[in-house]
Amino acid sequence: MDFLEKLRREVRRYLFVIIFLQNAVLLGAIALLLPLHYLPPEQLIAAVGIASVIVSFMLASVATDFTLQPLATLWQAIQHVSPHGEEQPAPQLNKYKLGAELVSTLANHVYQLASVVDSINDNPEQTKVHTSFVATALPLPLFVLDKNETIVFANEQAGKYLERPATELNRQSIYTVLDMSFASDSTFDRWLKGVKQNSVTADGTWERVRVGTPGQTEKTLLFDLAAHYNKDNPLGYETMLILFDHTAMYSQDDQAMSFVALSVHELRTPLTLLRGYIEVFDEELGPKLDPELKDFMKKMDASAQQLAAFVDNILNVAKIEDNQLTLQLHEESWASVVQTVVADLSLRASVRGVTITTEVEPGLPKVGVDHYSIYEVLANLIDNAVKYSGDSKEIHVSAHLNDEGHVETSVTDKGVGIDATILPHIFDKFYRNHRNRAQIGGTGLGLFLAKAIVDAHGGKIRVSSKPGEGSTFSFTVLPYSQAAAVQPADKGGVTRAAHGWIKNHSLYRD
C-alpha cells in the first residue's frame, strides 16, 4: 500500500472535520445571538467575530499538533541516532495513529542506515580495504581530488595510462598531471568552478579531450572524461574523474581529416585555373552570348566560387585543428568589408533567386580584423542563409555598434529555421541538422570555422532561430583601438591564433 497516499487521505479527512466543526460553532453562535434583539447589530457582529477568531485559533492549534505528529516522530528518530543525540529517547512508533505505517517504515530505514554507518566507523580498516579493492580493480584511469583539485588518489590504471608510477601522481595538481585541452570552451575547469559555487553534487561529461597538443613530441592521448562532484564528502574527496580512452578511434578521425585536407589542397591549382578561364570567357565572350549561355556562365562562376569556399574551409579547419592558423589583424573599414563580401556572394545568391540587402550604420569605427579570415566568416553565414532560405527570397545583412562598443553584424533569413534542440550543437565540427541534411548540401564545417575565427578576433558569435520563421546569426568584432589595447600592434598588425583546442586551466590560457 502507498503509505504516503494513506497519510494524505487521513490528513484530508481530519482537516475536513476541523473545518466542519468551525463552521458549526460559528452557525451555532449566530443562532444563539439572533434572539437578542436588544443588542445593536454592530455588537452582534463583533461578538460573532470574536467567537470565530477564538474558535479558529483553538482548532488551528489542535490541527497543527495533530497533523505534525508524523514529522515530529520521524525527527525524534533521526535525533536519537545522530552523533550528538544520545540523550534523545527513541520515539514510540505505535503511540500515534496518523501515518503510523509511513512513520514506522521511514524510521526503520533511518535505524538501518545508522547501523551501517556505525559498522563502517567500527571497522575503518575493512572499509579502506573494500575501497582500495574497487578502485584498484577498476579497469579505467581513476583520479580522486580534494577541494584544492589536488590528487589524493590515483589507481594503478591511471599510472599505466600516463606511463608514470601511480604513487608519483598523488599530491600533485590535476592540472599539472593532466594538461587537458577541450574541443569547446566548456572545459572541466569552468564546470568545476561553477558547481562549487552553485551545487552540492553534480556530474559532468566531455568528449574528445586531449592531453598533449599537436606539434609536441610527447604522446598525445584522446579520451572521454566523466566527473562527479560531492561537496559534503566526509573524507574530503570532492571530485572523482574517470577517463575512457579513445586514442585509436579519435586519432583515425584526425588522420582522416589530415588526408582530406591534403587531397583538397591539390584541388587549389586546377580550381584557380578554372576560375581564371571562367573570368576570361565572361569578359571576352559574355557580350556575344545569348541569354541562355550567359545564364550557364553565371552558374559556372557561382559553382566555382562555392567550390573555392569549400576548399578554403577544409584547409582552414585542418590548420585550426593543428593550432597553425595565425591571423594578422589590421585596421579596416567594416562597411567596406561587408560590401565586398555581399558583392561577391550576390552572384551565388542570384542563381537561387535570392536577393541580399544590407544596412550598415554610418560612422562605425575602424575594426581590427584579418581580412581574409573575417571574409570567410561573413561569407559562410551568408552562404548558409542562402542555402536554408527556403521559399524566402531575401537575406538581410546589418551592422551596428552595440552597447559594449563592439561592431555587431547580423545575417537574417526568413527560411526553414533551426529547431531548439539543435541550437546547442550548431557550432560543433561536422554537425548538421539531421532533418534536412539530405536535401541541403554542406560539410558541417562552416559554422565551426566561423566561431573559431570570431573567437580569435576577440569577438562572440550567437544564433537565434525558430523553425519555419528563419534564423539570425550575429557576431562581433572589436574596434581596432580595443584590439590593439589587448595586444599592442607591431609592423605586421595584431597577431592572433585560432585554436581548435581550448586549454583547461586558466594557467595555460592565452
Rounded CA-CA distance 273/167 in Å is 61
Are 218 and 204 contacting, i.e. CB atoms less than 8 angstroms apart? no
Which residue type does 28 have? G
Which CATH number goes with the domain that contains 437?
Answer: 3.30.565.10
Rounded CA-CA distance 209/188 in Å is 10
Whether residues 346 and 458 fall in one domain: yes
> How many Cβ atoms sit within 10 Å of the Cβ of residue 492?
9
Cell 566561431 appears where?
Answer: 451
Residue 321 lies in a domain: no
* Sheet architecture: strand order including 325-332: 367-369, 325-332, 494-498
Give the SS3 label for residue 310: helix
For 29, what's the count of Cα atoms within 13 Å in the CB-facing half-sphere? Answer: 18
Whether residues 7 and 105 fall in one domain: yes
Last residue of a domain, one of 208, 230, 251: 251
Give the SS3 label for residue 388: coil
Please give the backbone phi and psi of residue 74, each rounded to the nearest 5 degrees, phi first: -65, -40
Q: Mind listing the pLDDT tens digit of every residue in the chain (510 residues)?
A: 466 777 778 778 877 888 887 778 777 777 776 666 566 767 767 777 787 788 777 877 877 877 777 787 777 777 777 765 556 677 776 676 777 777 777 777 777 777 655 554 555 544 444 455 566 678 899 999 998 999 988 888 998 998 888 888 888 999 888 888 887 777 898 899 999 988 889 999 998 888 874 444 457 888 999 999 998 777 778 999 999 998 888 766 666 556 666 666 566 667 777 777 777 777 777 777 788 887 777 777 777 776 776 677 666 666 666 666 677 888 899 999 999 899 888 877 887 889 999 999 999 999 998 888 898 899 889 988 988 888 888 999 999 999 999 999 999 999 888 888 888 888 887 666 655 554 555 567 788 888 888 988 889 999 999 888 899 999 999 998 887 765 555 544 554 444 444 555 433 333
Whether residues 106 and 144 fall in one domain: no
Residue 431 lies in a domain: yes
Last residue of a domain, one of 251, 269, 296: 251
Whether residues 231 and 371 fall in one domain: no
Q: Which residues contact 129 (CB under 8 A, 6 or more apart)?
A: none
Rounded CA-CA distance 420/415 in Å is 15
Please give the angle made by the CA atoms of 409, 497 and 182, to the nearest 5 degrees: 95
Region at 378 (left for phi over 0; alpha for psi -120 to 50; beta for the rest):
alpha
Rounded CA-CA distance 102/42 in Å is 50
Residue 460 lies in a domain: yes
Domain ranges, residue 200: 139-251
Beta bridge partners of 367: 332, 479
Whether residues 204 and 112 fall in one domain: no
Are 140 and 160 contacting, i.e. CB atoms less than 8 angstroms apart? no
Whether residues 153 and 96 fall in one domain: no
Residue 268 lies in a domain: no
Rounded CA-CA distance 59/72 in Å is 19
Residue ranges in 123-267 assigned as alpha helix (H): 124-137, 156-162, 166-169, 174-177, 188-198, 247-265
> Within the chain, what is the greatest distance between any pair of CA atoms?
118
Which CATH number goes with the domain that contains 215?
Answer: 3.30.450.20
Residue 370 lies in a domain: yes
Which residue type does 423 have? L
Whether residues 198 and 111 fall in one domain: no
Are 81 and 114 contacting, i.e. CB atoms less than 8 angstroms apart? yes
Last residue of a domain, one of 251, 279, 305: 251
Rounded CA-CA distance 43/29 in Å is 13
Whether residues 66 and 149 fall in one domain: no
Whether residues 337 and 240 fall in one domain: no
Whether residues 224 and 335 fall in one domain: no
Residue 261 lies in a domain: no
Whether residues 143 and 109 fall in one domain: no
Whether residues 61 and 144 fall in one domain: no
Give the SS3 label for residue 498: strand
99: closest CA among 76, 67, 77? 67
Which residue type does 200 have? V
Please give the backbone phi and psi of residue 83, each rounded to the nearest 5 degrees, phi first: -55, -30
How many structural domains does the chain have?
3
Residue 170 lies in a domain: yes
